Amino acid sequence: MVTRKRALKAPPDSDTDSRVQRSKHTVLAATYELLTQSGLAGVSVDAVSKRSGVAKTTIYRHWPSRSALLLDACSRMGSRAQTPDTGTLRGDLETLAFHVAGRLRTAPWAAVLPSIIDAAERDADLAGVQARIHAEMRYPFCAVVERAQQKGQARRGVNPAEIVAAVLGPLFYRRWFSREPLDDTFVKAVVQNVISQL
């Protein structure tokens, strides 16, 4: 929003501009901290204001609603992994699966995503946030499967969405449902199972 306004006005004072950026950064960091500590229910504009020391009026100047703020803070969660190119589909899928498993084991957002999924059951804005996080996670998986299909390394009849479900499904299941270890042996077995069908 700041960017859009700026285009219509005189060039901004660079000190003002960097102050605004710092303040936005502080607010987003505080929102993210609250999210990882107590889930979505712990994030209100009041709580973010207290934690960040930024006034509520300033927060509302940058984000018109709690949902908009959450959307922005959550957008850090689904940062897209690089699309690997190891030369084989197995290598590419293993690289991606190890990356996801590592983040599921250690990243603070892994403890938060269930609260977003829960809220998405009842709130269309948060369903949009969740869809965006999911699309970012899924993108490189689809990219490597489609490339392998173009190169003739995988059957063209297979739907990439089913491959993604067969890799991400068991990883998510272990992290959030069965809570069993996401060790390297398991991750390799998951990829092996998928590869054997291609």
Residues at the site binding a second copy, with contacts judged by CB under 8 A: 38-41, 111, 114-115, 117-118, 121-122, 127, 130-131, 134, 138, 161-162, 164-166, 168-174, 176-180, 186, 189-190, 193-194, 196-197
User: Cβ 191 to a second copy, closest distance in Å?
Assistant: 12
- DSSP state letters, 149-192: HHTTSS-TTS-HHHHHHHHHHHHHIIIIII-----HHHHHHHHH
User: Cβ 48 to a second copy, closest distance in Å?
Assistant: 19
Tell me the C-alpha to C-alpha distance, in Å, between residue 124 and each of 42, 116, 129, 137.
19, 11, 9, 20
Tell me the C-alpha to C-alpha distance, in Å, between residue 150 and each of 144, 153, 155, 156.
10, 8, 9, 8
Structure tokens at 27: 């607010």
Type of residue at 153: Q
**Cβ nearer to a second copy, comparing 85 with 162:** 162
**Cβ nearer to a second copy, comparing 30 with 164:** 164
Q: Are 189 and 101 in contact (CB under 8 A)?
A: no
**Cβ nearer to a second copy, comparing 42 with 60:** 42
User: Cβ 190 to a second copy, closest distance in Å?
Assistant: 8
User: Cβ 173 to a second copy, closest distance in Å?
Assistant: 4
User: Cβ 176 to a second copy, closest distance in Å?
Assistant: 5
**Cβ nearer to a second copy, comparing 93 with 171:** 171
**Cβ nearer to a second copy, comparing 14 with 185:** 185
Which of 140, 143, 159 is CA-nearest to residue 151?
143
